[in-house]
Chain A
Amino acid sequence: MPLFPQLYNFAHWLTQDRGEAEDLVQETFAKALNGFSSFQSGTNFRAWMYRILRNTFLTSRTGLRSAPTVSLDAEEDEGPELAVERDTPETILMARCDSEMLQTAIAALPVHHREIFLLCEVEEMSYQEIAETLSIPIGTVMSRLSRARRTLREYLQRRMQGEKVAVGNERGMNYGV
């Protein structure tokens, strides 16, 4: 079956629930099969499949609950991310190889950031392909992706600072004994 494991992974990330992900994938394949005649030869099949899955998700109960309207302000690019400090989430995470923390950070992203982030980083779609999948302009792809990355970095930084504080407190207690 084409794209089956990839679509399931994406569905599970969106729904955050195995049962709902299975329903979503099943409905996606059913819709794709019934509507294959609407697929235009020469266009991108992968984008077409992901678009069906994503639209199905957005109209599901979980999708409606978890994807509130994105404000226009939120779509505006806040400009490039500037100076990168030495002790970055990248360097710390690499040192720790903390896959679980990354997964928690991805899961914590709002749905409209999570989906675009996964399509780019995990599915390795081009910006054009993402634009086709999500039916948004390329400029919006770029600004939304930039915000998703920033949100993820900020989340990781907060988590790491929290851990540092916790470790510091723990050490203080130990020293006090």
Chain B
Amino acid sequence: MACESLKGKLDTYLDGELPEQEMRTLDGHVRSCASCSSDALGKLQMKRAIQVAGKRFTPSAEFRKRIEQTIAPKRRSFVFGSLRPNWLLAVAAVALVAFALFIARNASDRSAGQQAFSEIADLHVGTLASSSPVDVISTDRHTVKPWFQGKIPFSFNLPDLQNTEFSLLGGRLTYLDQTPGAQLIYDYRKHHISVFVFQERSLPASLRESFLPPKQLPFNMETWARDGLRYFVIGDASKDEIDRLAALFKS
């Protein structure tokens, strides 16, 4: 194999941007050719050094504060508000009132399953009511998934949403019963749906069981366990849509 013609493609190869067939060809060649392997290693080290050197400038604390003060009043609408004015506030208010009624009615005989549901509902409502609902804002699953690296003790896959009406809005770190997990927020026709992912073995028994949500809350939910992870999908979208999003995660 002519090394010279391949050396010219090393940068694109290391960027992971060659067509699949060429990637495989170069992959095989680099593994067997000492000269190309050495060049690829040198370029890879250079890329790493550039990445370190390129992260050179950090904003000052004063500047960060100034920006936060400037944009704080508009911040809520940045993510959700512009999609539907006052939607967030209305849902949060309705949910909180309904939730308060639910607690008053069922405080004495609430089942463990229902309590678990309410904790998930708490997290969902609390997030939507927050001024910064997501820590990583991106519609790209390949941006959101790596963001969780090093923040949670497990990895999970996000479904491809092509040809669906769901869109990813972002993600955030969350905690349930002192267990860290991932919360992903999806949009479906202006409805916001949370998907929670936790390690099954870290959750209390009540949260490990599949249960039906109580009827008093304006939320639908689906939960299941797979490969040691427990998933919760919750939102005010119809049960069909919640199931549809759940199915995308299960597939």
Contact = CB atoms under 8 A, between A and B. Distances in A.
Interface of A: 1-5, 8-9, 12-13, 18, 21-22, 25-26, 29-30, 32-33, 36-37, 41-46, 79-84, 88-91, 93-94, 97, 99-100, 102-103, 106, 118, 120-122, 124, 126-127, 142, 145-146, 149
B8 A82 contact: yes
A106 to B, nearest CB: 6
A88 B167 contact: no
Interface of B: 4-5, 7-9, 11-12, 15, 17, 39, 42-43, 45-47, 49-59, 63-64, 66-68, 70-71, 74-75, 77-78, 82-83, 136-140, 143, 161, 167, 170, 187
A24 to B, nearest CB: 11
A120 to B, nearest CB: 7
B137 A8 contact: no
A33 B195 CA distance: 26
Nearest to B134: A2
A5 B59 CA distance: 6
Contacts of B78: 32-33, 36
A103 B77 CA distance: 38
B171 to A, nearest CB: 12
A133 to B, nearest CB: 13
Contacts of B8: 79-82
7 contacts: A42-B139, A44-B139, A45-B138, A46-B138, A46-B140, A83-B7, A93-B49
Contacts of B46: 89-90, 93-94
B42 A88 contact: yes
Nearest to A43: B139
B56 A103 contact: yes
A30 B7 CA distance: 45
A126 B78 CA distance: 25
B67 A121 contact: no
B137 A2 contact: yes
Contacts of A91: 42
Given A9-B58, A44-B140, A46-B143, A33 B63 contact: no
Nearest to A11: B57
Sorted nearest first, the 10 A-B pairs with minimum C-beta distance are A80-B8, A122-B54, A12-B57, A90-B42, A102-B53, A2-B137, A8-B59, A90-B46, A99-B53, A36-B82
A152 to B, nearest CB: 8
A81 B56 contact: no
Nearest to B5: A80
Nearest to B62: A22
A45 B71 contact: no
Contacts of B138: 44-46
A77 B150 CA distance: 40
